[in-house]
A and B are shown apart, each in its own frame.
Chain A
Amino acid sequence: MPSLRLDGRRVEIHDGDTVAAAAFRAGVRTFTRSLKAHRRRGLYCGTGDCANCLVTVDGLPGERACVTPARDGMRVERETGWPSAERDALAINDRLHRFMPVGFYYKVFARPRWLWPVAERVIRRATGTGTLPPDAPTRRTPTRFVRVRTLVIGGGVAGLAAAATAAGEGSVVLADEAAPGARATDPAARDAIARLTAEARAAGAEILEQHAAIGIYEGPAAALLGPDELVEVEAEHVIVATGALEAHGVFPGNDLPGVWLGRGAARMTAIHGVTIGERVVVVANTEEGAHLSEALRATGATVTLVTGRVLEARGTRQVSSVTVLTPEGRRAFACDALVLSLGWAPRDTLLRMTAEPEVVGAGDVVRPGSTLAEAEASGRAAARGQADQPTEATSWPIAEHDGYVCVCEDVSMHDLERAWDEGWTSSEILKRYTTATMGPCQGALCSRHLAEHARAKGAAPAARGRTTARPPVRAPRLGDLIGGVHEQVERRTALHDRHVAAGARMDHSGVWLRPGTYGDVGEEIRVVRERVSVMDVSTLGKFLVAGVDARTLLDQVFPLDVGAIAPGRARYLLALDEAGYVMDDGLLAALGDGSYFLTSTSGGADRMEAWLRNWIDRLDLHVHLVNQTAQLGAINVAGPNARDLLATLTDDDLSRAAIPYPGHADIVVAGVPCRAIAVGFVGELSYELHHPRGRSEGLWDALLAAGEPWDIRPHGLDALDVLRLEKGHVYLAQDTMPDDHPAKLGLRWAVASQKETFVGKRALERMDALPLERRLVGLRFDGAPQRGHPLAVDGAIVGRITSCAVSEAAGGPVGLGWVRAVDGAFPDQLTAGAVTATVSPTPFYDPEGMRLRA
């Protein structure tokens, strides 16, 4: 006989059992201990709606025993109560409950101040449900995308009928949360479901079993969580047919084990063949509840059926008696099971998440207490665009003066009354103060009670609504939610394998994977300053700007004088936004046939393309823009011996006459056609060779081979950071902030203010008239500085170090940083902790720029 282990004890499994059914049959009555008061909790809803039966299954906590199919060999543990659910040392909390009204911990442990962290640790250990296993296998659930005309959520009679009818109009997916065979509690329902399932399948509907909808989003779209996948569905129509459960009864003793909601009792009896008690009292104000008593009698129990209001239930470990106010008056009954069918609570959380008209309901969720025929008709009508509108219960079971409203969080009617008296007088605020509806069931039982309480207290309409419904409906695992999301999207240059083979530490620089260093940053810096080096700069944004209006576009958008760039020349380019702030920088080269080549920072390529295309559109210009970022590789050959090295690989003229600074020429290097651009970022003689991406490896290998006489080695981002800092060059987003106009960065020279128009011109005019309140400056330190460290004058913080390094070439520690004006003047001596910083002009190295103009 198949079996599972419950807290180590062997429990037999019958065919079709859930974990709860097997456990209950074996005599288990206490499944959990409540959050605060540690009261015994047993099976209540039996349909997966409440949190009374959460257990740990095979190491994973938070599984609902009543809907989890039992499997041979399963390991089940009750996860609340210490040392066990049966003998819980903290059950004492229940007796002390009147000293622990809702919110007491905020008041009692607030002072002295040191007490709260201690109290919090203790409280945390005493509450909560389940422990995450530290060695659980990490799970990344695959995500699948589906587009469909109609999504039906719920595999009962209404949902299946909707799917069968909608399949005639287009594609249909039906998501059914339940395990197969877990629904029908009577033969008529079983037949209807079998018939409708066959009809839906024959019509072409796709049925996803054991897929629960955890949220509905704009679109409409829905997320379905299955056993092994997350499905993101985009649908034109969504039909929610999630049914209803009985209204939660609130009266003293309502949370005792042995108190059941009707449909849960029906499942246990009809599907699992479990006897829930020998003397059963059924309090039914619904037709369905009345029928239920017949099914219970068939198990051999003595069943008493009454209607009315439950006043009180009593018992110690489980219910032993109940008092009901019937039409004939107060009646008390001895019982070992109490079944409630007091009214209906539609499972409308998903419906309440959206106001989109394409999302409608069908069946019990909009017409609770429907017959099978009514549910089927409702499903078909919804599929035809004539969905029933939700009806709210005309009468809601009145809650007694006491009893647990929010069972998950141990919030009683008494707590709600007290909180209201303290001034928390709206349903939303009451929720937040008492934590009612914030437990694992997310208000499935009690959200209506909370709203009803506010209404009964006379709250205004805005203050007595049901609290907002948000995804997820129920707690999914993080591994399920991150399916399809990855840490990085990664761009790689064509030289990636070369860098890895050379032992580079590859860093994520934005979306690019780039070499940080090949092992010795100091040596990499030296080889650039003293000999010759190469760097992979293929990540740069690169654009061909052509067409009759190419020059017009560039002139209108950028603040530089495009017309002054003669063919073969290049200029440093600032990109300003309409507020005059620096968005990006790069180089603009005139190609001589009226077209231009533009480079941007590696991280700014997409933004630059969007920016240019925006202006092409708004200015209605004839421009052909080709984003060549992927198409071209780029290798920077830098160092005093750069020209000598290249001369061994090309017959083309490399002199300043042929390639001016700043400028460019087309040359062939090691047989590879290149656009060689003379650049100055690192402050040495440099040739940035732009070439077809497919030729990168060959070019790189040829350069390294030809460079051996100079002991060439490549340099990475770490070295680049220091090299450019020595020249005082700004790193966007490291040294700059989003609201920097050129003057703040000392880049006013890059703006041709005399131009009649360019994007941001008016903004610059306006800001030029204002005093500069902040500046980026060069700094020299008398000790080792720290990036990000504040800069102070007389103890008051006036700035921050944005970049710094100990530099051989600059003769000591240097950096860049922000400084604010103090009393209208910029200080020139500051402190960064124990280090003194002196404002210095930049570049720190080769201020005349002789090296790069060689």
Chain B
Amino acid sequence: MPEVHDRPLGVIVCAADPAALDRLVPPGHGARVLRVAPDEVLAVVAPDFADDVRRELADRVAALDHDALVLDVSDGWAAIALVGDDAERALSYLSALEAPAADGFAQGDVARVAAKILREPDGLVLLVPAYWRDHVRTRAIEDAGAVEARA
């Protein structure tokens, strides 16, 4: 049974022209870039680097689209990690989505809410708007058999 953890993450949104986003060089610091829509990218990174990533993104995208918007939206997202080998099986109780490949992401209905699914070395991460955090945790425990992480 997988464990369910809160995994604090930095999330930066970059809204710009699709053509600019196509050519955007990903920022560093281990950030993962999710192209959630043609005109929107979410960069997900460890919280300590959120500010650096924001600045990097803002500099890079300004050269491609002077009207682009870059904003730290970390507060708006909650990341719930399902840790363990059976994280994928747990996901099958929450969603009809397939777990993504290692560096990709999936987005769609997880436990009836809008979520992005990321694969991590130790399992899966469900990224949802922050107000869904408790709902997703509860569903992971009650429906998918996950257990609270021991302190």
Contacts and interface: CB of A to CB of B under 8 A. Distances in A.
Given A626-B13, A630-B130, A491 B98 contact: no
B49 interface: no
Interface string A215-255: 00000000000000000101000000000000000000000
A734 interface: no
B69 A492 contact: no
Contacts of B74: 694
B37 to A, nearest CB: 9
Given A147-B98, A631-B130, A626 B67 contact: no
Contacts of A146: 92
B3 to A, nearest CB: 19
A628 interface: yes
Interface stretch (A36-44, A388-396, A541-549, A821-829): A541-549
Interface stretch (A137-145, A156-164, A337-345, A556-564): A137-145
Interface stretch (B25-33, B118-126, B133-141): B133-141
Contacts of A512: 131
**Residue among B73, B75, B96, B112 facing the most chain A CB atoms (10 A cut-off):** B75
A624 B95 contact: no
Nearest to B139: A486
Contact of B76 (A142, A147, A548, A628): A628
B71 to A, nearest CB: 6
The 8 closest A-B pairs by CB, nearest first: A631-B76, A624-B15, A145-B96, A630-B129, A491-B131, A630-B76, A624-B69, A693-B75
B135 A489 contact: yes
B130 to A, nearest CB: 4
Interface of B is mostly: mixed
A622 interface: yes
A22 interface: no
Interface string B101-133: 000000000011100000000000000011111
Contacts of B113: 489
B131 A489 contact: no
Contact of B71 (A234, A544, A548, A629): A544
B137 to A, nearest CB: 11
Given A232-B96, A544-B71, A626-B71, A489 B143 contact: no
Nearest to A229: B93
B93 A143 contact: yes
B71 A144 contact: no
A490 interface: yes
A628 B130 CA distance: 11
Contacts of B134: 490, 492, 496
30 contacts: A142-B93, A142-B143, A143-B143, A145-B92, A145-B93, A145-B96, A147-B98, A234-B96, A484-B143, A489-B135, A491-B131, A491-B135, A492-B131, A492-B134, A493-B131, A494-B130, A622-B17, A624-B67, A624-B68, A626-B13, A626-B15, A628-B76, A629-B131, A630-B77, A631-B75, A631-B130, A693-B76, A693-B130, A694-B74, A694-B75
Given A144-B92, A547-B69, A626-B15, A489 B129 contact: no
Interface string A609-644: 000000000000010111011111000000000000
**Residue among B15, B73, B92, B130 facing the most chain A CB atoms (10 A cut-off):** B130
A379 B77 CA distance: 49
Interface of A: 142-147, 232, 234, 484, 486, 489-494, 496, 512, 544, 546-548, 622, 624-626, 628-632, 692-694
Contacts of A544: 69, 71
A354 B78 CA distance: 41
Contacts of A694: 74-75
A694 B75 CA distance: 6
Contacts of B129: 629-630
Interface of B: 13, 15-17, 39, 67-69, 71, 73-77, 92-93, 95-96, 98, 111-113, 129-135, 139, 143
A694 B139 CA distance: 23
B10 to A, nearest CB: 12
A692 B75 contact: yes
Nearest to A542: B76
A544 B69 CA distance: 10
A548 B66 CA distance: 10
Nearest to B131: A491
Contacts of B17: 622
Nearest to B39: A624
A596 to B, nearest CB: 13
Given A630-B130, A693-B75, 12 more contacts: A142-B143, A144-B92, A486-B112, A489-B112, A490-B134, A491-B132, A546-B15, A547-B67, A548-B67, A622-B67, A624-B69, A629-B76
A630 B75 CA distance: 7
A625 B36 CA distance: 14
Given A496-B134, A624-B15, A546 B93 contact: no
A774 to B, nearest CB: 37
A554 to B, nearest CB: 16
A491 B112 CA distance: 12
Contacts of A625: 15
Nearest to B135: A490
Contacts of A692: 75
B9 to A, nearest CB: 12
**Residue among A234, A484, A630 facing the most chain B CB atoms (10 A cut-off):** A630
Nearest to B65: A622
Given A147-B96, A693-B130, A632 B135 contact: no
A703 B73 CA distance: 25
Nearest to A613: B37
Nearest to A492: B134
Contacts of B131: 491-493, 512, 629-630
A493 B134 CA distance: 10
B73 A626 contact: yes
Contacts of A490: 134-135
Contacts of A143: 93, 143
B73 A631 contact: yes
Contacts of B73: 626, 628, 631
A629 B92 CA distance: 29
A234 B134 CA distance: 28
A693 B129 CA distance: 11
A520 to B, nearest CB: 27
Nearest to A549: B67
A472 B131 CA distance: 36
A626 B16 CA distance: 12
Contacts of A629: 76, 129, 131
Contacts of B67: 547-548, 622, 624
